[in-house]
Amino acid sequence: MRILLVEDHPPLAEAVMDALHRAGFVVDHARSLADATTMTATADYALVLLDLGLPDGDGLRLLPKLRRKNKVPVIVLTARDQIADRLAGLDGGADDYVVKPVEMSELVARCRAVLRRPGERSESVIEIGSLRLDTVSRGVTANGEQVRLSRRELAVLELLMRSAGRVVSRRLLEESVYGFEDEVSPNALEAAVSRLRKALDAVDGRAAIVTVRGVGWMLARKDEA
């Protein structure tokens, strides 16, 4: 997994690169828009981490080029936290928008989540705690033990694992788990999540499904709590 970090602040670039190295990524560093443009043209990156305030211009200007050329996923990493900035970043084609300062564990998780997205350079296996989901064979194991899940439960689990540590809204789950033709009874999703939770509890996958009433669900590692 080769990542390009576009960041003009040397100590921050160095520290973030270290952290990403430890998480198992290979990281290249660009200090300016010009550097980043050359590097993305010559090398093939799985992900670009993009700072916005660069010495030779706004990082947002790089977004359309990256999206047009080789559909590299982009996470904007910036100190700008206004909603308008976030919208500009996401509307401009960024896959995620992270406001500095950010904990490295969260940044790594977000990088993984973006890399796992279907249609992008997905990994075929997602691991959270001792829980392991193979997106190709559609098999789930916990501590190496097979977990038997229905198609829908599996779909819910996949989505939760892809954004582990963050809340997945009920609307998003409904939209991705059920097709447009499906007749969705109001409690179908609750029932699926409940069955999934039971199955996970039974095997102690060191991951828990947390209900955020009124919003959605979140997959959290138990050791974090």
Alpha helices in 103-162 (DSSP H): 104-116, 151-162
In the complex with other proteins, the residue whose CB is nearer, 149 or 164, is 164
Number of residues that bind other proteins (CB under 8 A): 33
Task: Return the residue of 79, 184, 191, 202 that touches other proteins, per CB under 8 A.
Answer: 79
186 lies in the binding site for other proteins (CB under 8 A): no
55 lies in the binding site for other proteins (CB under 8 A): no
Q: Which range in 61-69, 144-152, 179-187, 213-221 contacts other proteins by CB under 8 A?
A: 213-221
Angle of CA points 16, 21, 24, to nearest 5°: 135
In the complex with other proteins, the residue whose CB is nearer, 144 or 214, is 214
143: left (phi over 0), alpha (psi -120 to 50) or beta: left
**Residue 178 burial class via C-beta count within 10 angstroms: exposed 0-12, middle 13-18, buried 19 and up:** middle
Chain-centroid distance of CA 102 in Å reads 15
In whole angstroms, the minimum distance from the beta carbon of 93 to other proteins comes to 21
Task: Return the residue of 1, 19, 188, 203 that touches other proteins, per CB under 8 A.
Answer: 19
CA–CA dist 77, 136 (Å, integer):
31
Residues 94-153 that bind other proteins (CB under 8 A): 100-105
Judge whether 119 and 72 are in contact, CB under 8 Å.
no
CA–CA dist 185, 192 (Å, integer):
11
In the complex with other proteins, the residue whose CB is nearer, 148 or 213, is 213
List residues near other proteins by CB under 8 A: 9, 11-12, 15-16, 18-19, 22, 79, 81-84, 100-105, 165-167, 169, 210, 212-216, 218, 220, 224-225
